[in-house]
Structure 1
Amino acid sequence: MTIVRGIQMSDTIDAVDMKLLKELKENSRENIATLSKKLGIPRTTVHYRIKKLINEGVIEKFTIKPNYKKLNLGTTAFILVRYNPDSGLTQREIAKKIAQIDGVHEVHIIAGEWDLLIKIRAPSAEDIGKVVVDKLREIKGIGQTVTMVSFVSVKEEL
């Protein structure tokens, strides 16, 4: 065990830390007193554990979950991309270019028949089509794409 900025740090995450992470994932604005009651541990312990998780890099940041329909981005699509190795660019370089496109929310380099998986949000399927045709397919190194529009998101985590 080491001490960082006055806080004892451990290399292990225990069951209480996992419960705390689950609660914070549900609502990162939850106050310490409420978390203390839910977890059955003192407020000072909750505070210490949150600091520990931040300092150990387990918690990278606190964020929000937007309502994309209210932001006029209610249509979601997933796009599979085949990499063209003759482009002179690496998959990582292409992934970084894709990540810069407005509306792109996720870019993953994946294994299997396809090389990249992209998540896009836009006002409509037509707008997603414009992103795919006018922006994505224009990137050197993208060979083939398959676009799948999501009907509904049953579970989505940040």
Structure 2
Amino acid sequence: MASSLDATDIRLLRELKENARENIASLSKKLGIPRTTVHYRIKKLVDEGIIEKFTVKPNYKKLDLGTTAFILARYDPDSGLTQREVAERVAALEGVYEVHIVAGEWDLLIKVRAPNAEEIGKIVVDRLREIKGIDQTVTMVSFVTVKEEV
């Protein structure tokens, strides 16, 4: 973590990660510091870019997106595209939630969500593998998510 953070900033970040909607008065009580100090510290964390945005964590099962899969993909260097360009095209696909350029035997790690495994298959076969610059893929469907951070 950034060296400008003290123990209170770290505790504040943990509380906000748990519930970004928690009000300043409640945070003030939990942290044992005045409300104005909580407000100032949150503003400072935002201004310094430590907090990039406040967001929500959807219940994907209730949104009929309860199946998660991770896809490893190989980049085709003969495609005429850079690996970053290919990653950006993958990121633009509907159903794709994360794209990471990784080291090792594979080049991209992709997280997708869909209603079921059949729809995951459609994402892979009908869209992902059609992207110029994608060479091979391996898909791993998640049975259960034990921990996931927003």
Q: If the length of structure 1 is used for normalisation, what is the TM-score?
A: 0.92
Equivalent residue number for residue 120 of structure 1: 112
Residue from 25, 37, 60 that aligns with 2:17: 25
- The residue identity in structure 2 corresponding to 1:33 is A
Q: Deviations over 1:59-94 (max 9, x none)?
A: 111000000000000000000001111111111000
Query: How many residue pairs align between the two structures?
Result: 149
Aligned-residue offset at 1:111: 0.5
Aligned: 1:104 with 2:96: yes
Unaligned runs of 5+ in 1: 1-10
Q: Deviations over 1:12-50 (max 9, x none)?
A: 111110100000000000001110111111111101100
Structure 1: how far apart are the matches of 2:83 and 2:61?
32
- CA RMSD for the aligned pairs? 1.1
Q: TM-score, normalised by structure 2?
A: 0.97
Q: Tell me the equivalent position of 1:152.
A: 144
Identity of aligned residues (%): 78
- The structure 1 segments of at least 4 consecutive aligned residues displaced by more than 3 Å after TM superposition are none
Aligned to 1:130: 122
Q: Partner amino acid for 1:42?
A: P
Deviation string, structure 1 residues 124-153 (Cα, Å, up to 9, x no partner): 000000010000001111111000000000
Q: Deviation of residue 123 (structure 1)?
A: 0.2
Structure 2 Cα separation of the partners of residues 141 and 63 of structure 1 = 32
Counterpart of 2:40 (choices 41, 48, 64) is: 48
